[in-house]
Homo-oligomer: A and B are copies of this chain.
Amino acid sequence: MSLTRIHNFSISLDGFATGEPQSADAPFGHAGQRLHQWMFATRFWDARGTAGVDNAFAERHSHGIGAEIMGAGKFGPPGWQDDPDWKGWWGADPPFHTPTFVLTHRPRPSIEMEGGTTFHFLDVPADEALSTAQDAADGQDVRIGGGPTVVRSFLAAGLIDHMHLVQVPIVLGRGVRIWDGLEGLENAYGIEAVSSPSGVTHLTFTRKVVA
């Protein structure tokens, strides 16, 4: 059974997964890299990094994943659709290494990158995108890569099996919030919280099995 998973999705204390304004120079706006410093400090990111609880969670990002779905806002800065040469932020060898589906109202032909990543562009609802990604994942799981608008829409549609959030002790004040419109989310998930010596708190949501 293919699961739909979210990993290493970092939010501020006030629930913002990105700051504002987003641009080519500042993909996360005024948040800068502050939401992701915890990850840069792990072995998952850097061989000299830590091997503690932050790393244990971070490494799960890649295991057993056969495809990713991301929103247009993750693939590029506002307006990337007007640049026919834009191929994402990540250089020639993006860190996905699987078919990667970009949700956009202005789809373009697929782009094959090095290292196993192929970007496909879809203008379809969440459930249809998931079906397509599951077919491409060939029995493995599908990761929902963000940003927050995409995560929210998949949660609201009841499509997420596992979600790992990382709460960073900063108050961003503005940006795009993860929580809006998700009242009662706890009814569908078992939730665990684990604080780390690094200062972040890992929150895991595991979908309850309906007997």
Question: Which A residues lie at the B interface, using CB under 8 A?
Answer: 13-15, 167, 169-174, 177, 179-186, 191-195, 199-201, 203
Contacts and interface: CB of A to CB of B under 8 A. Distances in A.
> Copy number of this protein in the oligomer?
2
Contacts of A167: 193
Contacts of A170: 184, 186
B169 A203 contact: yes
A184 B201 contact: no
Q: Is the interface of A mostly helix, strand, loop or mixed?
A: loop
A199 B203 contact: no
21 contacts: A13-B179, A13-B203, A14-B179, A14-B180, A15-B15, A15-B179, A167-B193, A169-B186, A170-B184, A170-B186, A171-B179, A171-B182, A171-B183, A172-B183, A173-B179, A173-B182, A173-B183, A173-B184, A191-B199, A193-B200, A194-B195
A185 B169 CA distance: 9
A70 to B, nearest CB: 23
Nearest to A178: B14
Contacts of A172: 183
A95 to B, nearest CB: 28
Contact of A181 (B173, B185, B199): B173
